Amino acid sequence: MTCGNCARHVSEAAQTVPGVATSEARPAEGSLIVWWSPGTTPNPQGVAQAVTAAGYPTSVLAAEPGPAAPSSPAGAWLRTLQLGGLCTLVLFALDQRVHHAHATGVAISLWPSFL
């Protein structure tokens, strides 16, 4: 596996094995990481056979449980929306404090005095 196209072929071969949720081939490291669908029995030897059949000789280095599969794009979008909402609320609260301070005659300078 020497390039991005090789990595794509390896990843596609791995994903033909039943139970594979997703996989990530890393050409620089010469490795493949496989995430399994929930409720399935991992079959690392099956992945090794599928990748070898695709023309990339392999062996299983570690068959131990690792982190969960990457979250879906919808989950990432929801986290981004939540973080954006939180930042908006903080800015809104700060803006209200500044306006309230000016209305009561208390000056708050958020900028250096030389500006």
Domains of the chain, residue spans: 4-53, 71-115
- 3.30.70.100, 3.40.50.10860, 3.40.50.620, 1.10.1750.10: CATH of 4-53: 3.30.70.100
pLDDT in tens, the chain (115 residues): 678 888 888 889 999 999 998 888 888 888 888 888 888 888 888 999 999 999 988 888 766 665 555 556 676 777 788 888 888 888 888 887 766 655 555 555 555 555 4
pTM (2 d.p.): 0.54
Q: Is there a contact between 27 and 9 (Cβ–Cβ < 8 Å)?
A: no
Task: Give the Cα-Cα-Cα angle 45, 50, 54 (nearest 5 degrees).
Answer: 145
Nearest to 30 by CA among 68, 67, 64, 1: 1
The first and second tokens of residue 14, run together, are: 């791995």
Q: Is there a contact between 101 and 108 (Cβ–Cβ < 8 Å)?
A: yes
In the chain, at which residue ranges do the beta strands (DSSP E only) sit?
20-26, 31-36
